[in-house]
Amino acid sequence: DAGITQSPRHKVTETGTPVTLRCHQTENHRYMYWYRQDPGHGLRLIHYSYGVKDTDKGEVSDGYSVSRSKTEDFLLTLESATSSQTSVYFCAISRTGDTEAFFGQGTRLTVV
């Protein structure tokens, strides 16, 4: 299995608070991704990174920011959490960006 660790695995937070999710990889893959999974929507890309300090938006990036200061870490921040951001968040990594991507175990975030 690809070495991907997401933390925390579960989090409950209040509306309006900032939240940061962490993805850590040990594979030295260039590409890292944040997805959210919601019923009826499948997996939707939030942001992705193609190198240290190189990031770009996905299809559902509003309300989220990311940072990648090291190859192994990709952080997803909800600046001010809203109930619509209650979801399961998955981090993924890919060596080349156009072949296989490997996923972490997910973080279940509940915003109350």
Partner 1 sequence: DQQVKQNSPSLSVQEGRISILNCDYTNSMFDYFLWYKKYPAEGPTFLISISSIKDKNEDGRFTVFLNKSAKHLSLHIVPSQPGDSAVYFCAASTGNQFYFGTGTSLTVIP
Binding site residues, partner 1, CB under 8 A = 4, 31, 33, 35, 40-45, 48, 50, 58, 90, 92, 94, 97-106
Bridging pattern class, strands 54-57 and 42-51: antiparallel
User: CB 96 → partner 1: shortest distance, Å?
Assistant: 9
User: CB 94 → partner 1: shortest distance, Å?
Assistant: 8
| Alpha carbon distance 68, 50 (integer Å) | 10
User: CB 101 → partner 1: shortest distance, Å?
Assistant: 5
Q: Which is nearer to partner 1, 10 or 18 (CB)?
A: 10
Q: Which is nearer to partner 1, 74 or 90 (CB)?
A: 90
Q: Which residues contact 41 (CB under 8 A, 6 or more apart)?
A: none
CA atoms within 13 A on the CB side of 34: 32
Q: Which is nearer to partner 1, 48 or 64 (CB)?
A: 48
Q: Which is nearer to partner 1, 63 or 106 (CB)?
A: 106
Give the pair of three-digit tokens for residue 63. Answer: 């309300």
User: CB 80 → partner 1: shortest distance, Å?
Assistant: 26
Cα torsion angle, 38, 40, 43, 47, sign:
negative
